[in-house]
Amino acid sequence: MKIQTFDTTLRDGTQGEKINFSVDEKLRIAHKLDDFGIDYIEGGWPGSNPKDALFFETAKSQSWQHAKICAFGSTRRTGVRAEEDSNLNMLLAAETPVVTIFGKTWIKHLEKALKISREENSAIIYESVAWLKDNGREVIYDAEHFFDGYKTDPHYALESLRAAQQAGADILTLCDTNGGTLPDEIAEIVTCVRWEFSGALGIHAHNDSELAVANTISAVHAGVRHIQGTVNGFGERCGNTNLISAIANLQLKLGYQCVAPAAMQHLTELANYIFELANLNPRDEAAFIGKSAFAHKGGVHVSAVLKDPATYEHISPEKVGNRRRVLVSDLSGRSNVNYKIKELNLQSGDHAESSKIVQEIKTLENQGYLFEAAEASFELLVQRLRAQIPVFFDLQGFRISVERDAGSPLPRSEASIRVKVNEHVEHTAAEGDGPVNALDKALRKALLRFYPEIARMHLIDYKVRVLSEGDGTAAKVRVLIESQNGEERWSTIGVSENIIEASWEALVDSFTYFLYKQYSTPAPTIKKKKALSLV
């Protein structure tokens, strides 16, 4: 059975904190949603701001393969005829095939906010919908605060819906605007509405009680066939129904069709695309599409998943375009290590070697290391224990100075370093935006003569975490460095009471990992020595 999908990321989603899209980004998102197979895309409120006006002006000249672009607004104002209402006329001027308007359902709003009678409110709803229908628009009527209104006065809540339906509304959407209704209440009330109305019903839920997706599913069970929400649950206060989770549950578990079956494999891609344009980090713990959604850490879990993934996974991650991950940590067993070694395309070891690696991980994580966040350092640990990592360079020493002149607003950082490569000692110095950046530049400068390919790699992220806060400035710190070479990224780690030492360790691992990947078969001039300890 088909479920209509209505996305309001570009309107309701942008009402969330930290969410803001340019016109170009809104158009890119709309095309991404169209490609994915969303049925309706609500672009904004015409006339409310120049950005939305430009979006609709541009959108009407572009080609849409599947979705209908929708403009959003309110019913007419009190005391103004529908054909003279500026808001309704701006909705028509947007020239979208579909218009969504919201009207009042809750008696509290009539009495406290608008101060109008029930009869006048019903007339406002009827005349607004009728005017839009007379002008050839498909009309979706959003009954604002419907569930609160129904619980206060069910007779009038239904009367307000009837006014919209009699005026020709194509879809009646029941809104849990305050997000406080529970799933059993949703099911009971939608069932009552379904009994009274034969037309198409929709659900628009907010997530203030962490129940928006559950409420949407309950509404569908009770007869709703049109669901509204936003990608990743963006929206005002606690957000809206997360369409990603709602679509996954309805289609993969309940047998409804929200989008084409092949589109489901792009669900993770869609979610991450919107996160990227919103300039937000994807939520690792997000259901279905998060980095941690199919991540396994406990040794017992991993051992079972290797035998049958269904033992600890509710669906196959590939169905939504995600992937299984096995983490290595102090909770790891040999199964974790063996899985990770296989995932990294390394040669499998025997039972004794796996046990040795597990013990080394437990020892190091007790000191503050975190290999689930630094897979490159984990690979180096394994290969060092196997004596497979060449000595690309030896540190002879480094010095860092930080100075601040009286007339300068910023301090100046300089690092000098001596490294030995193939019996040759290279001594260089460099300035940077801080001591770690200066150290990175100095090391890079020293190694470029011997390994010119280092010019292709660069650091893209640097994070510091204090591990023993009670120790004040003497606290142990963990440094994570993320580096990049084209499309390839890798993370390395360092731990020490000295932040520079921890940074140096992570930095050395980053350079070593890059060179190890470049020289997986060591050149004759690069000497090897006994496996190095990670610390």
User: What pLDDT is recorded for position 26?
Assistant: 95
CATH level 3 topology of 393-450: Double Stranded RNA Binding Domain (3.30.160)
- Whole-angstrom distance, CA of residue 459 vs CA of residue 481: 7
Element (H, E) at 393: none
Which amino acid is located at 296 in the chain? H
- Whole-angstrom distance, CA of residue 296 vs CA of residue 506: 25
User: What pLDDT is recorded for position 116?
Assistant: 85
pTM, to two decimals: 0.73
User: What pLDDT is recorded for position 375?
Assistant: 83
**Same CATH fold, 393-450 and 72-267?**
no
Query: In whole angstroms, how far apart are CA 89 and each of 23, 75, 84, 131?
Result: 22, 11, 7, 10
Residues facing residue 495 across a β-bridge: 478
pLDDT of 179-229, one tens digit each? Answer: 999 999 999 999 999 999 999 999 999 999 999 999 999 999 999 999 999
Q: What is the DSSP letter of 473?
A: G
User: What pLDDT is recorded for position 535?
Assistant: 28
pLDDT of 3-45, one tens digit each? Answer: 999 999 999 999 999 999 999 999 999 999 999 999 999 999 9
Provide the Cα torsion 447, 449, 454, 456; round to 10°. 150
User: What pLDDT is recorded for position 344?
Assistant: 67
Mean pLDDT for the chain overall: 88
Query: In whole angstroms, how far apart are CA 257 and each of 38, 68, 205?
Result: 11, 18, 20
User: What pLDDT is recorded for position 522?
Assistant: 44
- Whole-angstrom distance, CA of residue 187 vs CA of residue 215: 8
Where the chain has pLDDT below 50, the residues are 330, 521-535
Assigned architecture for domain 72-267: Alpha-Beta Barrel (3.20)
First to last CA, the chain: 59
Which tokens sit at 286? 């997000």
Whose tokens are 């096995």? That residue is 326
Q: Where are the domains of the chain?
A: 72-267, 295-366, 393-450
